[in-house]
Amino acid sequence: MPAAATTDPVPVRALNQVTYCERLYYLQYVDCVMPTNEHVEGGLFDHRRADDPALAGKPRKDGDATRTRGARVSSEALGLVGVLD
């Protein structure tokens, strides 16, 4: 019996992009082109701190709540991977 084919997991962000705008999905994930505008630039700026390796896994206090900067999630059964932030 042949071994089952394996594929790379699909980034959750790709699912978001394809449901938001199929053209934008194609540009980013097929043509590897990242169109930029003020919203993209703002998001990149915001993520500089959130994605800082020195802060990875370090929770912060926000009033009575403790918050993390991001949590990796994946599902082998669904073939998905992503980061919640």
CB 58 within 8 A of CB 51: no
Domain residue extents for the chain:
10-57+64-84
Whole-number pLDDT of residue 4: 53
CB 45 within 8 A of CB 51: no
Query: From CA 80, how far away is CA 7, in angstroms rounded?
Result: 11
pLDDT above 90 for 84: no
Whole-number pLDDT of residue 3: 52
Query: From CA 24, how far away is CA 35, in angstroms rounded?
Result: 8
The more confident residue out of 50 and 23 is 23
How far does Cα 28 stand from its chain's mean position? 13
Answer whether 0.75 is exceeded by the pTM.
no
